[in-house]
Structure 1
Amino acid sequence: MFSPHGPSLRELAIQALSSVERGYDLLAPKFEHTPFRTPDAILDATAGALRPLGPFERGLDVCCGTGAGVGVLRPLCRGPVTGVDFSSGMLAQARRAHPDATWVRADVRALPFDAAFDLAVSFGALGHFLPAERPALFAGVHRALRPGGLFAFPIGAPPPVSTARYWALQGFDLAMRVRNAVWRPPFVMYYGTSWPRAVRDDLVAAGFSVTAVPLTALGRREDGSPRCRLLLARRT
């Protein structure tokens, strides 16, 4: 599916019936050829918004997957860059693509770092965390940053209720809830549990000072508001 080099429907079905970790281990060799990989347009817009705020020293890619975020961090950071993920399969692909970075296998809900980084980024990962799990994730990133350090990630605006996209996302989340109610292990991937206001509140509760920058290069909605913003959470 998706491209001649992407996973087949059967491979996607096997992934969807696995745990999140096992599913991404299976998907890893073909992940770059799926729509799940963060588009270059989002990576480039994020890098452009962060560039005036740097330079930074050490960088961390949270839920790094195959390492796309390292391409954002490397030109922004004068020091070493690290990626962390719990999928050994995804990390293996990341090591091949970026052998000069450091790769750490860990559960990001319990990050093994203490005041080690100046900039942390994350792309496309929030849907893998239930709302009750976000406080542990954000507390770990807060702890991993040095005082004054920045945690940045793009977040899309909620689609209007009147749009087909809104109902498509609601349908996907409903299907995922049904799947998790009748099948074990669960596969956590929801689109409607991490809207900007709730995420901002959790960041503030974790000790961050939060602002947002519109990523206008990614387009605007019909009301003129940006489709996507970059959340900037600073450890004060």
Structure 2
Amino acid sequence: MFSPQGPSLRELAIQALSSVERGYDLLAPKFDYTPFRTPESILDAAADALRPLGPFARGMDVCCGTGAGMRVLQPLCKGRITGVDFSTGMLAQARSAHPDAEWVRADVLALPFAEAFDLAVSFGALGHLLPAERPALFAGVYRALRPGGLFAFPIGAPPPITSGWYWALLGFDLTMRVRNAVWRPRFVMYYRTYPLHAVRNDLTAAGFIVTTVPLAALGRREDGSPRCRLVLARRTGTP
């Protein structure tokens, strides 16, 4: 649909009627040719915002997919970098693109690490978690970080109600809710379930000290506020 190398409408339909894991296994070989991959502009803006806070030792990409986040971790981390995902297909693509990184298949709601990393990043993952699942993710990332470690991820400002994007995202989420109400297995993918205030509250409850920085390179809304912010969640304790 999106390019000659991208998935067909039929392939997308099969993916959408599968579970999240199976759907991404199917989509993995063509995922990087879809709009679902995190854009280079967001990766570059996040890297620019994190650079003054580094360098870091070991880094982890949570819900790494095909490994786009390695573009951020590689120049910032002096030690080993690790990607974590539950899709075997996505990890295979990531391993092929970045053979020098470490790749771990795991449920991100039960991360198998303890005080192993100094920086954790995530791109485009929160929409695949229900709000009730966020505390488990954030608690696992907190455990995986060393004291003083940083968890960073971008979060976009909601489009105004007058914007076509507002209604497009609302329509998509409503369609997914109907699909999940009448079809099993569920495919969890929503765009409006992780507002900044709710994410901040969950991070704080997990023990993080939370700040944000605007990603100015991604532009501003009509009211002057940034279109996108980088959430910086610092694990408490002395590095």
Give the aligned residue type for 1:66. T
The aligned runs of 1:3-42 (5 Å cut-off) are: 3-42=3-42
Q: Residue 87 of structure 1 aligns with which residue?
A: 87
Q: Which residue of 2 aligns with 1:166?
A: 166
TM-score of the aligned structures, taking structure 2 as reference length = 0.98
Q: Counterpart in 2 of 1:78?
A: 78
Looking at structure 1, the residues matched to 134 and 217 of structure 2 have their Cα atoms a distance apart, in angstroms, of: 28
In the aligned structure 1, how far is the partner of 2:28 from the partner of 2:195? 27
One-letter amino acid of the counterpart of residue 3, structure 2: S
Runs of at least 4 residues off by over 2 Å: none
- Are 2:126 and 1:129 aligned? no
Aligned AA (2:133): E
Quote the residue 2:47 is aligned against.
47
Structure 2 gap segments, 5+ residues each: none
Letter of the aligned partner of 1:180 in structure 2? N
Sequence identity of aligned pairs in percent? 82
Question: Could you tell me which residue of structure 2 aligns to residue 233 of structure 1?
Answer: 233
Residues 111-145 of structure 1: per-residue CA shift (max 9 Å, x gap): 00000000000000100000000000000000000
1:207-222 to 2 correspondences below 5 Å: 207-222=207-222
Q: Please give the alpha-carbon distance, in whole angstroms, between the structure 2 residues aligned to 1:24 and 1:201.
A: 29
Structure 2 residue identity aligned to 1:53:
L
Structure 1 CA distance, aligned partners of 2:74 and 2:161? 39
Q: Distance in 1 between matches of 2:161 and 2:200?
A: 21
The aligned length equals 236
The correspondence of residues 111-126 of structure 1 with structure 2, limited to 5 A, is 111-126=111-126
| 1:224 pairs with 2:220 | no
Letter in 1 for 2:94: A
The amino acid that maps onto 2:164 is A
**Distance in 1 of aligned mates of 2:93 and 2:135:** 29
Instruction: Give the TM-score normalised by structure 1.
Output: 0.99
Offset of residue 162 of structure 1: 2.3
Counterpart secondary structure, 1:213: strand
The residue number in structure 2 matching 1:185 is 185
The 3-state SS of whatever aligns with 2:45 is helix
Q: Residues 59-70 of structure 1 correspond to what in structure 2 (within 5 A)?
A: 59-70=59-70
- Counterpart of 1:70, as a letter, is M
After superposition, the C-alpha distances for 1:125-183 in whole angstroms (9 at most, x for unaligned) are 10000000000000000000000000000000011122221111111000000000110
Shift of 1:48: 0.3
Give me the whole-angstrom Cα distance separating, in 1, the residues matched to 2:22 and 2:144: 26
Letter in 1 for 2:108: V
Ranges in structure 1 where 5+ consecutive residues have no aligned partner: none
Q: Deviations over 1:39-70 (max 9, x none)?
A: 00000000000000000000000000000101
What displacement does 1:71 show? 1.4
Q: Name the CA distance, whole Å, in 2 between partners of 1:159 and 1:145.
A: 33
For the residue of structure 1 that corresponds to 2:5, the secondary structure is coil
Q: Give the match's secondary structure for 1:82.
A: strand
Q: Which residue of 1 aligns with 2:205?
A: 205
